[in-house]
């Protein structure tokens, strides 16, 4: 029997381009950011990642435990009259992991915060654009060069 190897990427990023962020409310801005960075899929009704990021942005100078984040997400979703989908503790931790993998937040001991309490634009420019994206582009370039 022949073994089939799996191609597992070392890293990956999804980027989408939407219209300019004019005349959008705070939650809609965060939602478009999540769509733009692949944290949310178009047409996805389970958008709790938007509220997780929103809670962390609202508390950008604090470190929060995952249960605190969950409780704040529930309050926020009730306030916005949204369905209580995806609010299980395990799913909140999954969304936190996804935000960490994109370098938007970091874990310090058992608490989470916006990376280095910095602005999201600085995090994007320094961690995603200069480091993460450039390393992916360089590797893709290597494959193009290797094909003669």
Domain membership of residue 132 (yes or no) is no
Is 124 domain-assigned? no
Instruction: Report if residue 88 sits inside a domain.
Output: yes
Task: Give residue 8's pLDDT.
Answer: 86
- Position 137 in a domain: no
What local confidence, expressed as pLDDT, does residue 5 receive? Answer: 64
Domain total in the chain: 1
The answer to whether residue 126 is domain-embedded is: no
CATH, residue 101:
1.10.10.10
In a domain, 61, yes or no: yes
The whole domain housing 68 covers: 26-116
**Residue 52 is assigned to a structural domain of this protein:** yes
Quick check: is 55 in a domain? yes
Please state the pTM of the whole predicted model.
Answer: 0.88
Residues of the chain with pLDDT under 70: 1-5
What is the model's pLDDT at position 34? 96
In DSSP notation, the chain reads ---------S--------S---S--HHHHHHHHHHHTTSS-TT-S--HHHHHHHHHHHTTTS-EEHHHHHHHHHHHHHHTT----S-SHHHHHHHHHHHHHTTSEEEETTEEEEGGG--HHHHIIIIIIIIIIHHHHHHHHHHHHH--
């Amino acid at each position: 029997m022949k073994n089939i190897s799996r191609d597992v990427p070392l890293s990956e990023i999804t980027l989408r381009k939407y219209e300019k962020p004019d005349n959008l409310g705070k939650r809609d801005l965060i939602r478009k950011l999540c769509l733009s960075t692949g944290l949310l899929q178009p047409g996805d009704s389970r958008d709790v990642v938007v509220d997780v990021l929103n809670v962390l942005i609202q508390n950008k100078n604090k470190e929060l435990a995952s249960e605190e984040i969950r409780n704040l997400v529930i309050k926020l979703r009730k306030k916005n009259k949204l369905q209580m989908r995806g609010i299980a503790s395990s799913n909140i931790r999954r969304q936190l992991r996804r935000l960490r993998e994109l370098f938007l937040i970091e874990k310090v001991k058992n608490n989470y915060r916006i990376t280095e309490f910095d602005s999201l634009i600085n995090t994007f420019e320094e961690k995603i654009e200069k480091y993460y994206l450039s390393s992916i582009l360089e590797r893709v370039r290597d494959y193009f060069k290797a094909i003669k």
